[in-house]
Structure 1
Amino acid sequence: MEESDNRWAERLRSGEPAALAALIDAYGANVYSLIGRVLQGCGNKEDIEECASDVFVSVWHRIREYDASRGSLKTWLLIIAKYRALDCRRSIIREARIAPIDWRTEPVASEDTERSVLRKAEMDEVWGMVDRLPTLDRTIFYRAYFYYESQETIARDLGLTRKAVENRLRRIRRLLKARLYSEREEGLSWS
């Protein structure tokens, strides 16, 4: 079913169940595959299926947040899938290591609000830098670190050697690190 993202989103926003079914048919395999890669080593088939279901329920409830000017419906869907899968992964790992609660001690936050805000700002900086990379490098970066695809798969799909992908990723990491460090140094000089 080929239709524009705007039309599809419009159908979902109007509460059309057939639109959700078509979305699942069109992108279910992509969502399932991404979740499987994120949960690899800690989740089972039922965890993947439950997480995929949660993704589509979330899309159904959050479709009003979709903004076509920021990217395709598929990309938005896969972003939701990635973060839902990461939450699921953390939950599975946490459940595997449940420790008895000591009610005599006060709970301690894992990180303070300031550190959380700073980390978010740093991530926004990094993603801004990634978005300014040349198209091929940006594609390789997203496929390796966002979609968790292997270097072999990326190389095959883009007509490159695995070594070329590996070298580009190494160069991108160095570039991002240098730019991030440089921007921090500039920020410190204004203090």
Structure 2
Amino acid sequence: MRITSENFIKHLKRKREEALEYVIEEYIGIVKAIIYNSLQSYNDPQLVEECINDTFLGVYDNSRQFEGNQEDFRRWICTIAKFKAIDKQRKLSKTEIVTDINEIKNAVKSAEEEFFVWSSTEDILKMMTKLEPVDRDIFTMKFFLNMKNEEISQHLGLTKASVDNRLYRGKKRLQQIRLGGLLT
């Protein structure tokens, strides 16, 4: 059977390698861009390639957990790519010694970035499932696709104020979920 955009999710869940090949061919560009943007400061092409491979392996291994359509799949694979890059950064930061003052300045992260780095990939994905679908979309666009609030509002047909409020409330909700242990 030929793998197409209409049936690749079904075949990926059945662990057909042809479906994985389709996913790699279809999504390699965006996955590479996300990972490269996150890991470019390490100036290590092999590290980027390894992270890309880890992403597609993670997609294949966890494909049965995915539920949704092709657009949801695009967000899902982007989220996995971003978290794999964050995991690499976390592992590398534990082994490297920061010696340059500019590196120290670059290491300072915002509260949102620190939250995502602190949490494991699986925990973040589980927590995000507790949010409303619109809020999940907003978080994915904001923190994994690095879109600005204005772009998100235009894409979703919401006001910028609504996006700002949903981000604020969503962060509070994720913090409650994390602190309250509501992941089960």
State the TM-score, normalizing by the size of structure 1. Answer: 0.56
- Residue 6 of structure 1 is matched in structure 2 by 10
Q: Give the Cα separation in 2 of the matches to 1:15 and 1:48.
A: 23
Higher-Rg structure is 1
C-alpha deviation, 1:70, in angstroms: 4.3
Please name the residue that 1:144 is paired with: 142
2:63 is the alignment partner of 1:66: yes
Q: 1:29 to 1:156 in 2, by over 3 A?
A: farther
Q: Deviations over 1:29-48 (max 9, x none)?
A: 221233234336x3347243
User: Partner residue of 1:43?
Assistant: 42
Partner of 1:167: 165
Please provide the CA RMSD for this pair.
3.9
Q: Please tell me whether the aligned partners of residues 6 and 68 of structure 1 are also in contact (alpha carbons under 8 angstroms).
A: no
Pairing of 1:7-46 with structure 2 (within 5 A): 7-10=11-14, 13-16=15-18, 19-39=19-39, 42-44=41-43, 46=45
1:46-57 correspondence runs (5 A): 46=45, 47-56=47-56
5+ residue gaps, structure 1, are: 100-118, 185-191
Residues in 2 aligned to 1:175 and 1:91: alpha-carbon distance in whole angstroms: 27
Residues in 1 aligned to 2:146 and 2:98: alpha-carbon distance in whole angstroms? 28
- Structure-2-length-normalised TM-score: 0.57
Aligned-residue offset at 1:86? 1.4
* Cα contact 1:66–1:76 (8 A) shared by 2: no
Relative distance call for 1:155 and 1:76 in structure 2 (3 A) is closer
Query: Could you tell me how far apart the structure 2 residues matched to 1:179 and 1:91 are?
Result: 25
1:98-134 residue CA offsets vs partner (Å, 9 max, x unmatched): 89xxxxxxxxxxxxxxxxxxx88xx57x71xx43443
Alpha carbons of structure 1 residues 136 and 39: separation in structure 2 relative to 1, 3 Å: same
Q: What 5-or-longer segments of structure 2 have no aligned partner?
A: 100-118
CA distance in 1, matches of 2:172, 2:16: 46
